[in-house]
Structure 1
């Protein structure tokens, strides 16, 4: 009787696992179909174009010179019902997200004028460049690099390395005055995984360029990072 029960349980488990495998396969097909839909492609192109236009504006209107663009685009399927510690991942069939970062070069000996130029450009067009002279902290950063002010965040806080506009853009740069042993510098973007459109796409443009190359050519690197854009979401019914 015990042996029969074990065999029955084994068969039941096998059938259940097979059902899970089929469900997983169907889920992948559904994700691929939704990710490749006309609506998803339209949202994808629009989202990418919007961020690329911002990058072009920074390249043309600020003292920075564009060196590298990193783009990661991924679509994932939602999870089954989350009974404990819900994250919201059980509320959608698919979510497509885009991550874009641009890397620029500049001369380290002229960093105060570089940031001043960014603020001046922001004064004219706050849409693409959300940092202007009404940003008090940014003005303190300029004064710091001109030698007219102390550390912008207060004594002992060290050299600044970032300007942040909530939900819009983050601008980071290589520290140039800090001791080289503890100096913060912009790191390389992570290596691309193999692209599998429309589910996964990874671009490094140009492929031959690296952050180290930009630093060697110009002297220092600025990084412009966009927040993650969830551009296509299909909720569960």
Structure 2
């Protein structure tokens, strides 16, 4: 009996030691995360990131015949998670992490799809351009619209780059056309500095399509602009 008690006591002690070793910092509370995300350093980084993303969208307007009909900006600051021991994803390595993403919706004349795509690829070849797409990387897509359906090719409807994608309404597929969808509704329940902007507030993808004929969607991938590592 004494041996059993001794073994049981050792098991309990080892379990307590294991739990103590596995304990880690708790999740960052929302108030603390908000305080960190409202620091002057965070505000300046937020402003620079928003200006850069908006400038990228303006470049598409300035150097092509695309018409900007709607812009959606999502700015999110997430508190760090409690220490993760299983399936860790890195969310326990910081106190707060902020990122921003912008999606722009443009209208264009569907009868000029080939010309519009050519403008986009040419714009990307300008010195200092941030539009990314060029004839070198995406000429095959332009070729499709010069000869729709040649050799059984499927209409592409998308160009991809490391930090963005460009989608548009398809025109020539035999199956029902693939159309750009309406953006997700903004979620306003999160406290500042989280933001979701829709400009103009009343704009819709359907209205852009009705006015111009075809819709292009440009999602700029989330850009991390502020992070406080956990000590």
Q: TM-score range by the shorter chain?
A: 0.7 to 0.9
Checking the alignment, whether the CA contact within 8 Å between 1:140 and 1:149 is kept in structure 2 is: no
Q: How do 1:101-180 residues align onto structure 2 when only pairs under 5 Å count?
A: 101-125=103-127, 127-135=129-137, 138-147=138-147, 150=150, 158-166=154-162, 168-179=163-174
TM-score, normalised by the number of residues in structure 1: 0.81
Report the TM-score when normalising by structure 2: 0.83
Structure 2 residue aligned with 1:63: 65
The 1:132–1:126 alpha-carbon spacing in structure 2 relative to 1, beyond 3 Å, is farther
1:67 and 1:144 map into 2 onto residues whose CA distance is 26
Structure 2 portions without partners, runs of 5+: 1-24
Shift of 1:198: 2.6
- Is the 8 Å Cα contact of residues 195 and 202 (structure 1) preserved in structure 2? no
CA distance in 1, matches of 2:197, 2:104: 12
- Kept in 1, the 8 Å contact 2:27–2:92? The answer is no
Aligned to 2:179: 185
Q: Secondary structure at the match of 2:59?
A: helix
CA change 1:111–1:26 in 2 (3 A) is closer
Gaps of 5+ in 1: 1-22
1:95-140 per-position Cα deviation (integer Å, ceiling 9, x unaligned)? 11112100000111110110001111111145311111222xx212
2:97 aligned counterpart, secondary structure: strand
Which portions of structure 1, spanning 4 or more consecutive aligned residues, are displaced by more than 3 angstroms? 23-26
What is the number of equivalent residue pairs in this alignment?
A: 207
CA distance in structure 1 between the partners assigned to 2:103 and 2:65 by the alignment: 18
Structure 1 vs Structure 2 CA RMSD: 2.1
Report the equivalent of 1:76.
78
1:223 aligns with 2:212: no
Deviation at 1:51, TM superposition (A): 0.5
Residue equivalent to 1:3: none
Cα distance, 1:28–1:110 mapped onto 2, change above 3 Å: same
Per-residue deviation, 1:88: 0.4
What is the deviation of 1:236?
0.2
Say which one has the larger Rg.
2
